[in-house]
Amino acid sequence: MAHVDQLVGSYRAWASNGVSGAPDWLKDLREGGIARFHHLGFPNMKQEAWRFTSVAPIAEGSFELAKEPARIPTLDEIRPFLLLEAGYRLVFVDGFFQRSLSTPFFDDVQSLAHVVSHRQDLVRQHLGKYVATQDRPFSALNTAFVSDGAFVHVPAKTNIPEPIQLLFLASGTKPVVAHPRNLVVIEREARASIVETYAALGDHSYWTNAVTEIVVGDGARADHYRVQRESDRAYHVATSQSHQGRDSTLNLHFVAFGGALARHDIGAVMAGPGGTLILNGLYLLAGAQHADHHTTIDHAADHCASHEYFNGVLDDKARGVFTGRIIVRPGAQKTDSKQTNNNLLLSGHAHADSQPQLEIYADDVKCTHGSTVGPLDPRALFYLRSRGVGEDDARRLLTYGFAAEILGRMEIAPLRAQLDAIVRGRLAE
Amino acid sequence: MAKGKVLLEVKGLRAAVAGNEILKGVDLTIRDGEVHAIMGPNGSGKSTLAQVLAGHPAYEVRGGSVQYAGKDLFELDPEERARDGVFLAFQYPVEIRGITNSYFLRSALNAIRKSKGEAELDPLDFLQVLESKLKAIGWDDAMMNRPVNEGFSGGEKKRNEILQLAVLEPRFAILDETDSGLDIDALKTVAQAVNQLRAPERAFLIVTHYQRLLNYITPDVVHVLADGRIVKSGGPELAHELEAKGYDWLRDAAMVS
């Protein structure tokens, strides 16, 4: 409990000091967040949603709220973390927007800290309206510390052809915590692609507690990529919450490579009829890494389709946890929902937990799910060897295929190529 | 026609899977350029013979010998056999997630080329090699961009095996029940593709339960395998005899011998 009190204390000091000039609605939002966190405390493994993941290293750790970036990198230093050369780019270090590292931007692609005062109505209309804090201590805590992050707004019927990159770097020199808060609003019949990346410059232990809200309007299409390559000593907790309107399309791609401990809560609400959602994820872990993906797809309207694919590749003593919850609300008829989670264990000490949770309250729906946990398929191994491919190469090829299956669904070719290179590099280690 | 050199010589081969002895002393000699068919009832050991020759690790060789192109076959790993020209068209081709058919086949061809000291093919060179081979089985590039065998129909899987055979150009091709699960049109396409691949420097061992494939591929020799042994060998007419009479009379003959 000591640490909960410490966090609440640091909130009080922060709220009464530098950010006290915030508008009342924002102050209220923050106060609600800290009250909720204070009430909930850190989750423990007795709670169903946290059965397989202990957050003790975070709860018992000592992470100071970053007051400013520990240091500001040069453009050359951040280049390796940019997955695309073209397009808009917002760069954050230890949670703070870095104008000098970002591309020329305009009112619709901005730092949240800036738009909170400049475009209050729009921000107020959406911020905190989608992510749940009721039973989610980490998103409640993030909400308490809302100050900076990325703001992307695509006006109705606007197409932004180049992907927008959001890069969150930890300087990784001190044990700090950052609470980046991102808001993406794609208005009616608009279209945009977003690439959100988390990475570290140094290898010190730190904690990232991020929340991203994504709103996709009626008839709009969004492609949202999220790449987590935090340092191997980092703690990464994140919530991604989307909300889709009628006949909208959302393609969510999640790749997790990093972190000592990573927990990602992914929520998708299909609020209007005729929506399409693809949730495509990969976790590639080694050493003692632990990654927990907790996904909830909420079919709140009829005639929506959600296809969820998560693959895990686990080596050494790594552990992967996947929970795939699908809710089909009463009246969400003609729902077409498909979920698969396949886990490849490359070592006898690697471990995967996979649990589908289907809650179906409508009767005219199609819902399928399947999950696998196991080593490489010996039949596939023999098949390759019988074609002349050596055993080691055959293993590598099959393992790569597990990851490539997920990467293959990504439409931005240069991004796919970059991730492909990262995957190949990690598998060659 | 002058007989080719002996390519494969199987003597007294005994093999088991999961502790059960399936092959109980198989003798078989195949020469360069010959097409042999092995027929027999279910459970006679036909597929086991095919798997053992390809080197499947689940099968335990308990006795006998196999000489292939002057080498002891059992000294070679499955990949070494493949590089030396052994090819098995699988009865149940395996699905490989995330790897396109094209990438898979190019990896296989390059592994074989590399072992011979030949230059590896880049994707463009490979596409050229592939083009005429695809035509022979009535496919276009679209099949090459799908993951290996994933979502393929039974017939597509078998065609894919024959495509691999055509691209890898083995010296000794084993077809394990390639005809099973094929409709008559697919059967004809597959047979035609195999016939085009018949060559003086390439031998075939065709494992089949039914005679119908042999209506389109005329073998030089037909063997009957029953209870782990070859109980009868003959010309193409033997296949017709089996179709008419079934296998029971041979099983009895095996018991007597």
At residue A158 the predicted structure's pLDDT band, cuts being 50, 70 and 90, is: very high
Q: Which pLDDT score is estimated for A87?
A: 86
Q: For residue B98, which residues of chain A lie inside 8 Å, CB to CB? A: 400-406, 408
Q: Which pLDDT score is estimated for B245?
A: 83
pLDDT digits (tens, 9 = 90+) for A96-114: 999 999 987 778 999 999 9
Closest by CA position to A181, among listed A147, A152, A130: A147
When CB atoms are compared, the residue of A387, A405, A408 closest to B108 is A387
Q: What domains are there in chain B, each with its CATH number?
A: 6-256 (3.40.50.300)
In this structure, what DSSP letter does residue A60 have? S
Sign of CA dihedral A14, A20, A23, A25: positive
Percentage of residues in chain A having pLDDT higher than 70? 99
Q: For residue A387, which residues of chain B lie inside 8 Å, CB to CB? A: 82, 87, 104, 108, 111, 164, 168
Which of B17, B96, B145, B157 should be substituted to probe chain A, the one whose Cβ sees the most A Cβ atoms within 10 Å?
B96
CB contact under 8 A, B108 and A388: yes
**Partners of A310 in the β-ladder:** A281, A341
**B79 in contact with A at a CB cutoff of 8 Å?**
yes
The arithmetic mean of pLDDT across residues A361-377, rounded, is: 96
pLDDT, averaged across chain A: 95
Whether the per-residue pLDDT at A17 is higher than 90: the answer is no
The arithmetic mean of pLDDT across residues A172-195, rounded, is: 96
Cβ proximity of A250 and A224 under 8 Å: yes
Rg of chain A over all Cα atoms, to the nearest angstrom: 21
Q: Which pLDDT score is estimated for B256?
A: 47
**B143 in contact with A at a CB cutoff of 8 Å?**
no
Cβ proximity of A300 and A277 under 8 Å: no
Q: Which pLDDT score is estimated for B253?
A: 59
CB pairs under 8 A between A and B: 84
Note every long-range contact of A65-69, with CB atoms under 8 Å and residues 24 or more positions apart, other chains counting. A65/A10, A65/A14, A65/A145, A65/A176, A65/A177, A66/A94, A66/A95, A66/A96, A66/A176, A66/A177, A66/A178, A68/A94, A68/A96, A69/A93, A69/A94, A69/A96, A69/A98, A69/A171
Cβ proximity of A209 and A176 under 8 Å: no
CB contact under 8 A, A388 and B168: yes
At residue A22 the predicted structure's pLDDT band, cuts being 50, 70 and 90, is: confident
The arithmetic mean of pLDDT across residues A327-341, rounded, is: 97
Q: Which pLDDT score is estimated for A191?
A: 98
CB contact under 8 A, B98 and A400: yes
Residue-wise pLDDT tens for chain B (257 aa)?
A: 557 899 999 999 999 999 999 999 999 999 999 999 999 988 899 999 999 999 999 999 999 999 999 999 999 999 999 999 999 999 999 999 999 999 999 999 999 999 999 999 999 999 999 998 998 888 888 899 999 999 999 989 999 999 999 999 999 999 999 988 888 888 998 899 899 999 999 999 999 988 889 999 999 999 999 999 999 999 999 988 888 888 777 666 555 44
**Partners of B173 in the β-ladder:** B87, B204
Give me the amino acid identity at B227.
D
Q: Which pLDDT score is estimated for B255?
A: 55
Whether the per-residue pLDDT at A388 is higher than 60: the answer is yes
**B116 in contact with A at a CB cutoff of 8 Å?**
no
When CB atoms are compared, the residue of B98, B104, B109 closest to A403 is B98
The arithmetic mean of pLDDT across residues A163-192, rounded, is: 96
Q: Which pLDDT score is estimated for A18?
A: 63
Cβ proximity of B41 and B224 under 8 Å: no
Choose between A190 and A1: higher pLDDT: A190
Please state which of the ranges A20-29, A258-267, B8-17, B113-122 shows the lowest mean pLDDT. A20-29
ipTM: 0.95
Cβ proximity of B162 and B76 under 8 Å: no
